Amino acid sequence: MTLPVDYESEQHRFYKTLNMDVQLKPSSDKSKHYDVQMENGDFVNVISHDSLHNAIVIAIMTRFNELNISVYENFGCRVHELIKARQTERVKYQIELFITDVLENIRRIKEIESVEVIVDEDNLYKINYHVLSISDELVSGSVRL
pLDDT digits (tens, 9 = 90+) for 100-132: 999 999 888 999 999 999 998 888 899 999 999
State pLDDT tens for residues 49-94: 778 888 898 889 888 888 787 777 788 899 989 988 899 999 999 9
Please give the residue range of the domain that contains residue 112. Answer: 66-145
d(CA 32, CA 142): 11
pLDDT band at 27 (very low <50, low <70, confident <90, very high): low
Q: Is residue 140 part of a domain?
A: yes
Number of domains the chain contains: 1
Q: The domain spanning residue 110 has which CATH number? A: 3.10.450.40
pLDDT of residue 79: 93
